[in-house]
Amino acid sequence: MSERADADFGRAGVAAILGLAVAWELLGWLDVSMFVPPLSGVAVTWWKLLGDGTLAKAASSSLVSLVKGFVPAAGLGVLLGLAMGRFRTVRQVFDPWVNALMSAPLSALVPVLIALFGVRDTVVAATVFMFSFFVVVVNTTAGVRATDRSLVEMARAFGAGEATLFGRIYLPHALPAVLLGLRLGVVQAVKGMVVGEMLISLVGLGERLIYYGNTFLITELYAVILSVLVVALLAAQAVQACDRALVRWK
Amino acid sequence: MVAREAGVPVPAAGAVSIAIDGVSKAFGSVQALADVDVRVRAGEFLSLIGPSGCGKTTLLKIVAGLVPADRGRVTVGDRTVTGPGPECSVVFQDFALLPWSTVQKNVEFGLLLRGVSPGERAERAQRTIAKVGLAGFERAYPAQLSGGMQQRVGLARALAVSPRVLLMDEPFASIDEQTRRVFQDDLLSLWSEERKTVVLVTHSMEEAIYLSDRVVVLSPRPGRVHQVLEVPLPRPREGGDVRATAEFARLVDGLWKILRKLQ
């Protein structure tokens, strides 16, 4: 299985997914382990959890945290990224922090977040923010910094001031990189959501993962895992749709 | 007409002269320009040529107000240059088109930055696009055009703001030879309609002779004015066989002899 399904599902990608599904199903029937239930069983359970409202309840709590964490992360991340891309001093001040926190294992910060936000829902939004903010910042900064010097010179020759340069040159130039950052960021945000819910708050889909894991309800566990994957995929697709709508010139 | 045949430019009403007085510029420890004096007459087509590293592009950018001079001063008309001014338009070697904007929006860009109303912007851009021979391409994006067409957009953008001075930084350098010749002729006929003051930076001797009234030869590191060459070829030159004349060959050869010594 050399081809993997990513954002652009090709024929090979679909084949790979189907192949995996078939292999999973067979392993399930062979009963190799209680941790590999047949895929069909997972699907039935998923349908049941969807029907009795378990998934909807958990997912709605999770999605609220996702939005509450990712929207500020995206907004502030783009703003900080633009400033860091444009002004050297801002970059020098924030670069070490951004780089350190982007590569740090963020789960290690969980105790700090608990201390700051307690164990209420807000802490999940905070983990979502922490997971997604930095990748947005880094991509936006890179997009601004890659701006063609001659475009800047051209705009200045027509009398552009700093604000005009920003709005008419730097921002549109950075837009594809910003959207890439948001796409990577939203995937990180889903990770942050699950981590926050599992390790701290015990709400939403993360709480269901822990519960089904601890009670060995394996088909339910897989049903929730697949739901998380669907959430991540849909979120990434939504950002990609924005990308296509906004960056038509590429 | 009489004046034109004698090779003396007839400046457009409102064409301005440029005075470059004692301009010096260093980048770090590299002296790019040292004490450069050039006068460009109103309505004149003047080329700057010289070996690479002679600072000809830097000089053009100083005139455009994009790069400050360390010493000396530049006057365009009666304005002392301290920054980009409304009377100058620049055409860039790499075209500098906004890749996310259509031809129409690219040509409107200068007008937009100068506060022209949307209606007038659209109308003036359309007119200039037609003038440079790109009518029908208004909605195309730069990436869909050839290099020559992209530079026509660059020229249209520069002309759309009705500048008195056109500053061109190796505009034809990245365009293939055949396209370049057609474009040069189009530039000359546009220029003869309305004699703006033009300063052209080039490394092509043929181009300098073919287009210019005078050619300023700069010496390298630091850039100084080495020699100023008059080009007494009659105008209009476009569309004819000026390049095939003995006089043209003699002028190009003369320029080469000067440049060869500077290498």
Work out the burial of residue A241: count CB atoms within 10 Å of its CB; fewer than 13 is exposed, 13-18 middle, 19 or more buried: exposed
What distance in Å separates the CA atoms of residue B236 and residue B189, rounded to the nearest whole number? 8
Which pLDDT band holds residue B160 (cuts at 50, 70, 90)? very high
What distance in Å separates the CA atoms of residue B128 and residue A44, rounded to the nearest whole number? 66
Find the domain containing A43 and state its range. 37-246
Q: Contact A150/B66, CB-based, under 8 Å?
A: no
Average pLDDT over residues A150-177: 93
Q: Where are the domains of chain B?
A: 2-87+165-188+197-262, 98-162
E strand segments, B121-222: 165-169, 197-201, 214-219
CA closest to A152 among chain B residues? B96
Q: Contact A154/B88, CB-based, under 8 Å?
A: no
pLDDT of B11: 53
What distance in Å separates the CA atoms of residue A163 and residue A173, rounded to the nearest whole number? 15
> Which chain A residues are closer than 8 Å to B169 by Cβ?
none
A53, A61 contact by CB (below 8 A): no
Write the pLDDT tens digit of every residue in B250-262: 999 999 999 998 8
What distance in Å separates the CA atoms of residue B68 and residue B117, rounded to the nearest whole number? 31
pLDDT of B152: 95
Q: Contact B66/A156, CB-based, under 8 Å?
A: yes
CATH superfamily, domain at B98-162: ABC transporter ATPase  like domain (1.20.1580.10)
For residue B142, which of B157, B130, B127, B128 has the smallest C-alpha distance? Answer: B157
Cα distances from A5 to residues A15, A226, A237, B158, in angstroms, run 9, 15, 14, 48
Residue A22 resides in a domain: no
Length in residues, chain B: 263
For residue A152, which of A126, A171, A180, A135 has the smallest C-alpha distance? Answer: A171
> Which chain A residues are closer than 8 Å to B79 by Cβ?
none
Element (DSSP H or E) covering residue A24: helix A11-30
pTM for this model (two decimals): 0.81
Sheet holding B71-76, edge to edge: B30-40, B18-27, B71-76, B79-80
Is the predicted pLDDT of residue B110 greater than 60, yes or no? Answer: yes
Fold of B2-87+165-188+197-262: Rossmann fold (3.40.50)
Which pLDDT band holds residue A5 (cuts at 50, 70, 90)? very low
CATH of residue A205's domain is 1.10.3720.10
Which pLDDT band holds residue A9 (cuts at 50, 70, 90)? low
Token representation of residue B164: 């008195």
User: Residue A4: CB partners within 8 Å, gap ≥ 6?
Assistant: A13, A16
Instruction: Judge whether B2-87+165-188+197-262 and B98-162 match in fold.
Output: no
Residue A131 resides in a domain: yes
Token representation of residue B24: 């010096």
Residue A202 resides in a domain: yes
State the amino acid at position B16 in one-letter form: V
B-interface mutation test, from A150, A152, A158, most B Cβ less than 10 A away: A158
Number of structural domains in chain A? 1
User: Residue B120: CB partners within 8 Å, gap ≥ 6?
Assistant: B111
Is the predicted pLDDT of residue A189 greater than 50, yes or no? Answer: yes
